[in-house]
Amino acid sequence: MLLVVACSAPAFARQAVQQPTQPPPAPAPTQQTPAAPATNQKPPVPLPPAEPPIRVTTGLVHLVVTVMDKHHRFVTDLDRSDFKIYENGVPQDIRFFGRETNLPLRIAVLLDTSNSIRLRLQFEKNAAENFLQDVIRRGKDEAFLMTFDNEPEIIQDYTDQLYLLTSAIDAQRAGGGTALNDAIYMAAQKLEKAPLLRGQTSDLRRVIVIISDGNDDLSDHAFSDALEEAIRAEAVIYTVSTDTNWLAIDNPHKPSKYNMDPGDKVLRSLAEQTGGRAFFPYSVDDLAVSFENIGTELRSQYFIAYSPVNPPVVGQYRKIEVRTNRKGLIVRTRRGYYAASAANSPGN
């Protein structure tokens, strides 16, 4: 700035010196009056120095956090001071905090209709219908139904009408291969643009419920692609396994899942990476407790937002860890995020 002013001052001085003077008036030839500088001229405005622009990152990372005690009971009485957030190991300052118990839900129900689950298809139907009946609130929440065998297909678009969803579920038949990853990818993209109902704000809870054995033999997208898209959409994934690899050892009337098949591990990984839960029910009766837990959980969570201390570059993955000051508590949330842009972090 000083350099610009120093260069501009001589030019302004020359303008004042070079102004013309009036001839002396006739009655007083011995006195001359100097001409005043022209009043309609303004000094030039100095230009600011050429410095790089300052960019301020205002994007926030949004987290939906579930806290449980060692008995798997939800803990809902924590305050902002009870939480600590770390991104890539670096402590973060919490900008917003709240107990979000009543946000509208947008739910993608993904129903596996491939040949591999033919014997458990009715089980899947019951699972999907029971979940929707326990969770959907008319006029507030909406869900859509997607099936996947050779390829994913939206059978029923967003609606809060249970009869439309259950009718679509009842009409399904099994056959073909399995494109689970493609279904997750497509569902996440659709959730990212979820519609709002009248009077609702932009704050939504996005949920994917997958009812499947976890196998995939036809997808164009890799598992990592599907998971990344779900993380970008900020969708929490809950999985319900239809696998039948159970062993009745301790109690012949109550089988237990001692071994995790590859498909089970896929379902568990999807849930853990996005902050959801994986369920492995044996019978339809076991589903009631599972879905009651999901419904309660979706309304017993905390909302935390922070602005990264070190803004990420486009496409970079950042790991997230959430801890509490109270000992013995289990904290679940998504394990990271992908930066959408240099000036806007996820959570818009």
Q: What is the pLDDT of residues 223-237, one digit of tens each?
A: 999 999 999 999 999
Q: Is the pLDDT of residue 115 over 90?
A: yes
For residue 298, the model assigns a pLDDT of: 86
- Please give the structure tokens belonging to residue 253: 């009337």
Q: Are residue 174 and residue 317 in the same domain, yes or no?
A: no
For residue 56, the model assigns a pLDDT of: 32
Indicate which CATH number applies to the domain containing 281. Answer: 3.40.50.410
Per DSSP, the residues of 131-162 read HHHHH--TTT-EEEEEEESSSEEEEEEEES-H
What is the per-residue pLDDT across 219-278, written as a single tens digit (0 to 9) for each? 999 999 999 999 999 999 999 988 877 544 455 565 555 578 899 999 999 999 999 999
What is the per-residue pLDDT across 46-105, written as a single tens digit (0 to 9) for each? 443 333 332 333 478 989 999 999 998 999 999 999 999 999 999 999 999 998 767 899
Range of the domain at 200: 105-299
List phi, psi (to 5°) of 2: -60, -35
Q: Are residue 159 and residue 90 in the same domain, yes or no?
A: no
* Candidate from 39-43, 88-92, 335-339 with smallest mean pLDDT: 39-43
Q: Are residue 203 and residue 74 in the same domain, yes or no?
A: no
Q: Are residue 218 and residue 191 in the same domain, yes or no?
A: yes
- Please give the structure tokens belonging to residue 297: 């959980």
The pLDDT-based confidence of 290 (bands split at 50, 70, 90) is confident
Does this model's pTM top 0.85? My answer is no
Per-residue 3-state assignment (H helix, E strand, C coil) for 55-92: CCCCCCEEEEEEEECCCCCECCCCCHHHEEEEECCEEE
Distance of CA 103 to the CA centre of its chain: 14
Per DSSP, the residues of 168-179 read HHHT----S---
For residue 46, the model assigns a pLDDT of: 41
Domain assignment of residue 145, yes or no: yes
Q: Mutual orientation of helices 284-298 and 121-135 as an angle, nearest 10°?
A: 30
Q: Are residue 209 and residue 293 in the same domain, yes or no?
A: yes
The pLDDT of 14-30, averaged and rounded, is 44
